């Protein structure tokens, strides 16, 4: 389940490997999945995660309809370790300076779509937690999945602007936005959970962020339209099926009912974000799920409600998959083809969806 999803879920006891439970769930280990699904991790140089995994038959059926012949590869990557990545915080250090500090012990490979991002691998055999590095404690870099860097890059906030991060905690994208703004202008970092504001505040402090106002819910000034923003990021709570390799519980928690509830919340969030967006402004909607209902279908629904909204193309140096323009008998607005959809196997990252929307200013 995505790091964003905050609802409480009931946990069930493990059942014997391969034995169906009364909920229609099967629990097995990844080696068994490899054999049953005819997966070959070694083919792509992947290392399977040595844990039990819970897969619902309904999930398998649903994702085979969505992915077709790409389903096996999707599961290979989803059940394997992800390559670690970091983003240099240029408010504290230049990209080249940090690279020189780390290259003796780490192999750094640039992330093509984010000039501050690097995939990294430890040069030595002994395991080392990158979070313990002094450079991390000093806020010189943020440990962040490379796909997670995409939404702030696409939003492209500028110094001096008014920017809203509607679902900010724990702060990876917030700190990236503030970095691009060079600590100038105003960045409102909002979240709906007070418990999540503490780590957000700590991350902002460590990164040296000084232009950010942290708000809880922000319902008053936001719902009343008292504040308008040049750019808005809606990194929405989601079912997280692009992040299975970070949390195998995502497979266990997945259900059509969960998706239905999340879509209702996502609709409210994108509506609020668009409401406080200035004419001529840009909104980026993103999720780390592969579900069409939470992505292309939601954007299609949104466009039907807002004739003044236009989807902008996203140009990045990244391998992408085609956006979903029809699924399960539903045809979406053809403009959703401009959205960015990536699966874990496309770039060996998390899966992500990003839509870039402009509010027409009346003169266009």
Q: Name the catalytic one among 114, 167, 238, 288.
A: 288
Burial of 137 (0-12, 13-18, 19+ CB in 10 A): exposed
Strand partners, 229: 277
Q: In 209-351, at which residue ranges do the beta strands (DSSP E only) sit?
A: 212-216, 229-235, 277-287, 309-312, 326-327, 330-331, 340-342
Q: Contact at 8 Å (CB) between 269 and 294?
A: no
Measured CA to CA, the distance from residue 92 to residue 50 in angstroms comes to 37
Question: Is 238 one of the annotated active-site residues of the chain?
Answer: no
Q: In the chain, at which residue ranges do the beta strands (DSSP E only) sit?
A: 26-29, 52-55, 85-88, 106-110, 117-122, 141-143, 162-165, 186-191, 212-216, 229-235, 277-287, 309-312, 326-327, 330-331, 340-342, 352-359
Burial of 226 (0-12, 13-18, 19+ CB in 10 A): exposed
Helix, strand, coil content of the chain in percent (nearest 5): 35, 25, 40
Positions annotated as catalytic residues are 288
């Amino acid at each position: 389940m995505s790091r964003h999803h905050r609802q409480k879920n009931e946990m069930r006891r493990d059942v014997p490997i391969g034995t169906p439970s009364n909920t229609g769930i099967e629990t097995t280990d990844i080696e068994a999945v490899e054999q049953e699904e005819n997966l070959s991790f070694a083919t792509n140089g992947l290392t399977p995660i040595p844990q039990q995994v819970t897969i619902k038959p309904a999930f398998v059926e649903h994702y085979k309809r969505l992915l077709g012949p790409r389903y096996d590869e999707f599961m290979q990557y989803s059940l394997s370790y992800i390559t670690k990545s970091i983003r240099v915080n240029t408010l504290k250090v230049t990209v080249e300076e940090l690279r020189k500090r780390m290259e003796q012990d780490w192999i750094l490979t640039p992330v093509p779509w984010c000039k501050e991002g690097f995939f990294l691998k430890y040069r030595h055999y002994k395991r080392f937690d990158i979070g313990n590095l002094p450079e991390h404690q000093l806020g010189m870099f943020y440990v962040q999945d490379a796909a997670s860097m995409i939404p702030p890059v696409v939003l492209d906030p500028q110094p001096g602007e008014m920017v809203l991060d509607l679902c900010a905690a724990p702060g990876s994208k917030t700190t990236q936005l503030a970095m691009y703004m060079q600590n100038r202008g105003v960045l409102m970092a909002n979240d709906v959970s007070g418990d999540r504001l503490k780590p957000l505040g700590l991350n902002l402090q460590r990164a040296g962020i000084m232009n950010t106002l942290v708000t809880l819910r922000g319902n008053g000034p936001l719902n009343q339209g008292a504040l308008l923003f040049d750019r808005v990021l809606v990194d929405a709570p989601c079912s997280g099926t692009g992040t299975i390799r970070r949390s195998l519980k995502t497979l266990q928690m997945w259900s059509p009912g969960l998706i239905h509830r999340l879509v209702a919340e996502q609709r409210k969030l994108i509506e609020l974000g668009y409401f406080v967006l200035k004419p001529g402004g840009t909104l980026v909607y993103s999720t780390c799920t592969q579900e069409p209902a939470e992505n292309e279908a939601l954007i299609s629904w949104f466009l039907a409600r807002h004739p003044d909204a236009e989807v902008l193309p996203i140009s990045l140096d990244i391998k992408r998959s085609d956006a979903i323009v029809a699924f399960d008998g539903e045809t979406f607005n053809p403009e959703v083809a401009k959205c960015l959809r990536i699966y874990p196997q496309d770039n060996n990252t998390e899966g992500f969806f990003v839509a870039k929307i402009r509010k027409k200013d009346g003169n266009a």
